[in-house]
Chains A and B, each alone.
Chain A
Amino acid sequence: MAVHRTSVQNDVLRRDGVRATRASARGFKSVETRYLAERSALFCGLRNLDRRSFLKVSAAALGATAGLAAPHSFTPVCVAADAEDAGAKPAFKFAYISDSHLYEKSVNDRFVRGLLRGVDDVNHLDPQPDFVFYGGDLAQLGQPAQLDLGAQILKNVKAPLRVMVGEHDWYFDMGQKWQELFGKPTYSFDHKGVHFVVLNSVVERDFWTARKMSPLERMKTVAGLDNGVQSSFTVGEEQRNWLKEDLAKLADDARLIVFSHSPLYKLYKKWNFWTDDAEEVQAILKRFKQVVVIHGHTHQLLTNRVDNIHFHGMLSTAWPWPYAPEGMPELTIQMSRPDPFDPNDGCGDGEVRVHADGLIDKVYSLWNRNPITVSRAYTVSWGKESVPPKPNRVSY
């Protein structure tokens, strides 16, 4: 029995000798045609591999986790192949959820549903990550009820949980409730030979006392991304000193991952995608061979590299931010413009696969989209290799 050809291949010459001129010949290509072409390319690609590569690829495609493909990620050939980096096999992985901006359930059910979906996602990872990291902005207006709700939902995370503070958690009561629930905002820990540091990078100079603001007014001011009354974020001298001390015992080639809520560089001041003392903080990190900084706050796919520091953003579970009109790092390949009909589009959670040298593959598990991986090879090669896919709907 002859193999039935796909309709794309039928385009050229039919077995009955008729040369078919489909509608596509007139330039009218249906969405279907493109997908069929991609699918046929997938299988043609498969047939062209040698046996060993074929097995590797099929293993990846079948979702097997030899640390190559993300579990339950049935990524087509090229991405699976890229995930196999020469000599750098991931040592372990952790997952993250970030920026949930919770209101009480009766006020806004969507944001709660977002966090629930994030928790559901990480609980269904197989195998389970080493730990789950929460990237900050658990509450929207820092209210005790909101923080309590978030803490209660996060209790359902199966893996061990580490939490970081964001500005929305802090500026209602200057972190009082948050610290009651989660402890110190600034701390460090070691895991499988990697030193992790968690910073409170959203320290703002007092702008509220002179204006006689109430706690809620202060919080609402900070909550407005485009609210120019608030001050720029800083790490601050106290924390920088703490950081120097904490890192003192590390060798220059140590594996180091720093978490901060806001990006530790200067992207766009008007939206506080910014750290005023970024240079000072980067100076502290300069002596290391390579450092990874993972941040939240920006609610988007964001990649940057400054000398030895590789910066990666985390997705939000609540809503996506647009990309800044200026100051965008060159390495960032933007995610496709989200569809507002889907309140979850452009949102998600994700994983971080930590390699033996401390650098990471950053997996953005976008909801209702294929996951995007910004791999170690991409930032190491300054954007030449392993390039993530370009968006098909660009920002305005």
Chain B
Amino acid sequence: MKRQKTVRFSGPAAQMVLGGMLAAGLVWALAALAEGPPKTPQGKHGEAGMEEQLAELQKLQPAGDVTEPPAGFDPVVWAAFIPEDNKPTPQRIALGRKLYFDTRLSRDGSVSCATCHDVTRGFTDQRAVSEGIKGKLGKRNAPTTLNVAVFQMLFWDGRAATLERQAGMPILNPVEMGMPDEATTLKAIRDLPEYQQAFKDAYGREVNYRDLERAIAAFERTLVFVDSPFQRFLGGDAKAISPQAKAGWELFNGRGRCVACHQMNPSNPLGTDNRFHNVGVSARHQNFEELATQALAALQADASEQKLDELTVATDLSELGRFMVTHNRAEIGGFRTPQILNVGITAPYMHDGSMNTLWDVMDHYNKGGEANPFLDGGIEPLALSEAEIDQLVAFLFTLTDVRFAAENQRQFARQQAVAKKDRPFRDNALALRRTLPFEQRVEGGKSTPKDKE
């Protein structure tokens, strides 16, 4: 009696099984491709692990240090943004990189800059609002750290005048990295020889907070990613973007009225005018008058920068935007125009992350934002058609650096699928000017006619 049976892959049944396995494998592989390499959230707050991020960064920036003005920026304007006391050197950039990924700078050792500005997630966290120590949620969406070098001021409300100042603030914010003060932060790294050496090499000084800020800023200045298909189109490659995207670009400059705030030119290619506008996001949730009264009371009690930082990120006063910094009544609810480079991979959108897809953003502007007494006057219904909205979105997705093409494609597919199912911000009656902004407020607050054709 033969005890051993050799299983042979032959015969029609076997072939079917084999075929089935191959097919399944193919489907799985395709699905995996569409999904991308599985994001293994090894970080405590849903971000990719620090090691993985560093590896990804290495792939994106093989050259590592950038001390020359990068391609795509006007060199004269670029030079104007480098501060005298923080000229980029390989040592400073290396120190900054080290600090950027170091979770020791947070109170419970779980949060670093890279937690909310994740290399694998468009240098943001792709969440509506960010999560800090102990799982605390803030009130604001994390802007991307891509291309921050040429921002004129940082944060949604511009409360940091320089990249250096911005780098140091989240560390001390109770819902972000949660350190109580600078001294405690420094204690976490001061005794480590690698840091002592790094600080000496970079700035010739002891470990100190100002240099910590400088180093992080120096590193962030290397994150220049402006090589998008659109940039190549502007450079003369007519085939770099689709005809739909070209039509979107026309609309961007024309009936879409986008270009007035999202300015793009060689000296400022980011698509922001560095000003503050109330575009009526979430205006229906706020009583701005009441909030402003509260804010002034709070700020008179404690006028420190750290308090301001806390109020704007952790409390409802976040909705006041620029007003928190300037106390200008005209700037209540005003937020800085974000850059639109790489916008495809930095969802969700707006200061509170309330908009999931770019189609939502288009719907919001198309209907003229949300009427409120502080609404920026330039916001008005645009009466764009569905086709035109698609063209604009197509254009916006061409603004992503080619190195992020895979992520961009994934995001496009995801957003398109979500937008097909639901467009919560759409209001055709307002967009097509059948109902007018303020009309409902004036005529006794009738319910919004949600006209979904």
The residues of A with any CB-CB pair to B shorter than 8 Å are: 1, 3-7, 14, 16, 18, 20-23, 25-26, 28, 30-33, 35-36, 38-39, 42-43, 46, 58, 61-63, 72-76, 105, 109-110, 112-113, 116-117, 119-121, 123-124, 153, 156, 339, 341-345, 347, 367-371
Contact = CB atoms under 8 A, between A and B. Distances in A.
Interface string B75-95: 000001101110000000000
B80 A28 contact: yes
Return the 10 tightest CB-CB contacts between A and B, nearest first: A344-B377, A342-B377, A116-B438, A32-B161, A32-B153, A342-B378, A109-B433, A4-B304, A341-B260, A23-B83
Contacts of A73: 329
Contact of B373 (A20, A74, A124, A156): A124
28 contacts: A4-B306, A7-B162, A21-B85, A22-B85, A23-B80, A30-B161, A32-B153, A32-B158, A33-B161, A35-B158, A35-B326, A36-B325, A62-B296, A72-B329, A74-B292, A74-B296, A74-B327, A109-B381, A112-B436, A116-B436, A116-B439, A123-B442, A156-B444, A342-B378, A345-B377, A345-B378, A370-B328, A370-B330
A62 B84 contact: no
B286 interface: no
Contacts of A4: 304-306
Contacts of A153: 442
B253 interface: no
A192 B323 CA distance: 37
Which residue of B289, B377, B381, B439 has the most chain A CB atoms within 10 A of its CB atom?
B377
B319 interface: no
A119 B439 CA distance: 10
A336 to B, nearest CB: 11
B442 A30 contact: no
Nearest to B155: A32
A6 B305 contact: yes
A69 B174 CA distance: 36
A8 to B, nearest CB: 8
B380 interface: yes
Given A7-B160, A109-B433, A113-B436, 9 more contacts: A16-B210, A30-B153, A32-B160, A35-B325, A116-B436, A116-B437, A341-B257, A342-B378, A370-B330
B327 A76 contact: yes
B255 interface: no
B441 A120 contact: yes
Contact of A109 (B84, B297, B436): B436
B40 to A, nearest CB: 38
B209 interface: yes
Interface string B374-397: 101110110000000000000000
B376 A5 contact: no
Contacts of B31: none
B373 A370 contact: no
A156 B326 CA distance: 34
A64 to B, nearest CB: 9
A282 to B, nearest CB: 37
Contacts of B373: 117, 120-121, 124
B293 interface: yes
Which residue of B84, B329, B376 has the most chain A CB atoms within 10 A of its CB atom?
B329
A120 B442 contact: yes
Given A16-B208, A113-B437, A31 B378 contact: no
A21 B376 contact: no
B436 A22 contact: no
Contacts of A121: 373
B252 to A, nearest CB: 14
A153 to B, nearest CB: 7
B442 A74 contact: no
Contacts of A123: 442
Given A32-B153, A123-B442, A25 B84 contact: yes
Given A23-B84, A120-B442, A16 B326 contact: no
B331 to A, nearest CB: 9
B191 interface: no
A95 to B, nearest CB: 14
A75 B329 contact: yes
B408 interface: no
Contacts of A156: 442-444
Given A30-B153, A43-B303, A116 B442 contact: yes
Contacts of A368: 330, 374, 376-377
B442 A119 contact: yes
Contact of A343 (B329, B330, B377): B377
B443 A39 contact: no
B150 to A, nearest CB: 12
B56 interface: no
B367 to A, nearest CB: 13
Interface in B297-329: 297, 300, 303-306, 323, 325-329
Nearest to A113: B436
Contact of B152 (A30, A124, A367): A30
B274 interface: yes
Contacts of B181: 1
Contacts of B153: 30-32
Contacts of B330: 368-370
Contacts of B134: none
Contacts of A5: 305
B289 A63 contact: yes
B165 interface: yes
A339 B327 CA distance: 22
B438 A117 contact: yes
Contacts of B209: 16
B227 to A, nearest CB: 27
Contacts of B80: 23, 28
A342 B306 CA distance: 35
A184 B251 CA distance: 49
Contacts of B205: 18
B272 to A, nearest CB: 13
A31 B81 CA distance: 13
B169 to A, nearest CB: 10
Interface in B375-432: 376-378, 380-381
A29 to B, nearest CB: 9
Interface in B273-293: 274-275, 289, 292-293
A42 B327 CA distance: 10
Interface in B173-221: 181, 205, 208-210
A312 B11 CA distance: 99
A16 B207 CA distance: 10
Contacts of A367: 377
Contacts of A75: 329
Contacts of B165: 7
B312 to A, nearest CB: 14
A144 B377 CA distance: 29
A365 to B, nearest CB: 10
B373 to A, nearest CB: 6
Nearest to A366: B330
B264 to A, nearest CB: 16
